[in-house]
Structure 1
Amino acid sequence: MKFQQTMVACALVLAGCANQAQRDRLGIEDPTLLKTGIGAAQDTASGAVTPQWLSTYAPIASGGEALAALQQRLDKLPVGQNTYFHAKAQCWIDAAQTEWRAHDQWGFVEEAIGQAAMITFGLENDASLSAANPELRTVSTVRPDLWKIVNVIKSDPATARCPEAQVPLACAEVELMLAGHYAWRHDFSAAEKALPGIQGNLRKAAEAGLQCAQPNIPTPTTPTHTPAPDITLRADSAFRFNGSDLAALLPNGKNQLNAIAAGLQKVKGIRQLNISGYTDRLGSDAYNQNLSLQRALTVKAYLVKRGVTVPITVTGMGKTKPVVECDQKDRSALVQCLAPNRRVEIDFVRGSE
């Protein structure tokens, strides 16, 4: 593993060309990022590698095999009462994979793997874990206002009993750290591009927390096998394009399924899940039938890995039952218009107590 000090120097020089308005929008207060050009510092405070850092992180293997092995260990653990930490470990793995694929050699990959491993090993050994975010060498603070929102949501008692809020909250924290890494290496544009996703996750966490804080109102007894409202996963946000296996599940898809699995452990009376996959009308009938079935099977496999034990039926519906009709001539516009048809629907079947 190479950690070239010259890379830090080059980044600091190039930062002189960065737009000051970007730094202002990111709320950067770190003096090592505000001072730019050849005269900028290259000491420990500005991110130079220290012997202590090397002794901690240099032994960490940052290749694909190491990430896959860590993912396997995490997948074996039930979400249970550790939804927040399970989600945070997963998001650290996802962040490490993103930067590893981008050939990031600054040290963030090792730090992200280290955080994921620490949480995973703690969950394996039922150890006490801290929800505090670490200070990392390759991460600077961006958007202090969003960190304040993180702390408000995290301190809300409703969040502690609401897995649906914990998953997006944990990922928002990791994503803010990743944005801070982009800023640390003076890629302020990349840091800004990460903000909408972070804000979206914080909004989801806040809304879920509010819903969990609402008092439980008894509902009339429903007949056996009356389906609860469906949950629809948009395939474009849950799977890589044309992907259908577990490896093709995107972080957003995993987060949604994690929340469903955690919610099922709290809800009583769910007797069965019916999972149906759908595609758009593009492509052959045989291809779409297989793709829709494989995606439904993958969703089932993921939920089972997360501890869902109720019976699950799986159906591939291919291009049937479209929810939108489109006739655009431009293929890109047509594909975008047909996006709602590419989906996986989950029906919850309730039974009498």
Structure 2
Amino acid sequence: MKHQLTVLVCALALTACADHAARERLGIEDATLLKTGFGATQDEAAGAVNAQWVSTYAPIASSNTALAGLQTRLDRLPGDKNSYFYAKAQCWINAAQQARQANDRWGFVEEAIGQAATITIGLENGAPLSAANPALRTVSTVRPDLWKIVNTIKADPAVAQCPQAQQPLACAEVELAQAGHDAWRRSFTNAEKRLPEVQDNLRQSAQRALQCKQALQAPASMSAPEQGSVAKPQQKITLKADSLFRFNGGDEAAMLPAGKRQLDDVATGLNNAPALHELKITGYADRLGDKSYNLGLSMQRARTVERYLRAHGVSVPITAQGRGSANPLVDCRRTKRDALVKCLAPNRRVEIELVAARS
């Protein structure tokens, strides 16, 4: 049965589980992992090191040096830092650092470094990368139901066009692998403790993908007034800045594919509105951060929208301005920054006022 994003958002909000042992709640299917005491195997099938594993990870002489070098290389990469592969490389680095700080000597540190290195090198070289999660010696599969949700979200076309949904999805995969490592070393309680964050990231990814899908399905549209009627003096189109630009971006290089498609539809509507007299474009930011920075960012976004519309044939007079955090649409009092940023999203916007010619 195919999960829909709307169903996943609701399902992931529920965290109650049957009151069974943590090991049972993890849904472990690996028979070797369920055996303890006499009769428990210690062979390669149970995760023992083999020659291939040693040859692969032996070059990692110093995990600390390797992690520092990878972080530097990743930071230097251009492009959207919230994109799927960049986020996944970063989360693998974070996972390796956590395991190292916990003095984990089971091999997960090296495997996490290997995953981060593979992605980082691929991004540096512009090579094609696979979104599949490879089998790792020190990771067993836990919560197959959550992995099914991961794959369902990943397969939705909206996610490929929505970088905001990609970062939490990528990190949920790494976190679920970390839980699998905890289970592999039979720390079932620690594995279970990671699951709420996995569920929260999957919920965020599904919600953001839904928002992107709704933005694509409901583009701005306009038509000329009927003959003999009096055009309304003003109409307004409100575009979410988070749909137009990557976070904290305001120039054309920071525009998202979904945002360009929205503006393409706006330009088409404007070019088919002969009674249009003037456009007023106003950019807004949220209240977080420096006021002068927010004012400049809001102005940059308004001018970028102006230039984009001009480049797509809109020839009526246009005025662009930035108002910073003025005229907020919502007032949020959240204490956690991530929740506050999400709550303030409606305030980050670009408004296009259409001033129609009077008959």
Answer whether TM exceeds 0.5 for this pair.
yes
Displacement of 1:198 after TM fit?
0.6
2:28 equivalent to 1:28: yes
Unaligned runs of 5+ in 2: 1-18, 223-234, 264-280, 298-321, 326-330, 354-359
| Count of aligned pairs between the two proteins | 264
How do 1:11-50 and structure 2 match up within 5 A? 21-50=21-50
| Unaligned ranges ≥5, structure 1 | 1-18, 232-256, 278-291, 301-311, 316-321, 325-336
Q: Alignment partner of 2:21: what SS?
A: helix
Residues 136/338 of structure 1: CA separation in 2 closer, same or farther (3 Å cut): closer
CA gap 1:186/1:70 in 2 versus in 1, 3 angstroms: same
Deviates more, 1:186-195 or 1:33-42: 33-42
Aligned-pair distance for 1:118? 0.3
Give the equivalent residue in structure 2 for 1:12: none
1:94 aligns with 2:85: no
**CA positional deviation for 1:68:** 2.0
Task: Map Cα deviations across residues 224-245 of structure 1 (whole Å, 9 max, x no partner).
Answer: xx996799xxxxxxxxxxxxxx
Taking the aligned partners of 1:263 and 1:43, their CA distance within structure 2 comes to 51
SS of equivalent residue, structure 2 residue 28:
coil
Q: Indicate the residue corresponding to 1:216 in structure 2.
A: 218
Displacement, 1:314? 10
CA distance in 2, matches of 1:145, 1:218: 38
Name 1:184's counterpart in structure 2. 184
Counterpart for residue 77 of structure 1: 77
Q: Which moved more, 1:178-187 or 1:33-42?
A: 33-42
3-state SS in 2 of match to 1:350: strand
Shift of 1:271: 8.3
On the 8 A contact 1:62/1:109 being kept in 2, the answer is no
TM-superposed deviation, 1:179? 0.5
Larger Rg: 2
Contact 1:92–1:116 (CA<8 Å) still a contact in 2?
yes
In structure 2, what residue type is equivalent to 1:45? A
Q: Give the aligned partner of residue 301 of structure 2.
A: none
User: Please, what is the CA RMSD of the aligned residues?
Assistant: 4.0
- Equivalent residue in structure 1 for 2:256, among 253, 260, 265: 265
Match for 2:218: what amino acid?
N
> Relative to 1, partners in 2 of residues 1:263 and 1:26: Cα closer, same or farther, differing over 3 Å?
farther
Q: Secondary structure at the match of 2:77?
A: coil
Give the whole-Å Cα distance in 2 for the aligned partners of 1:109 and 1:271: 49
Is the Cα contact below 8 Å between 2:83 and 2:163 reproduced in 1?
Answer: yes
Tell me what 1:154 maps to: 154
Residue type at the aligned position of 1:182:
D
Q: What is the one-letter code of the residue matched to 2:183?
A: A
Per-residue deviation at 1:154?
1.2
Counting aligned pairs with the same residue, the percent is: 56
The 1:349–1:163 alpha-carbon spacing in structure 2 relative to 1, beyond 3 Å, is closer
Counterpart amino acid of 2:176? L
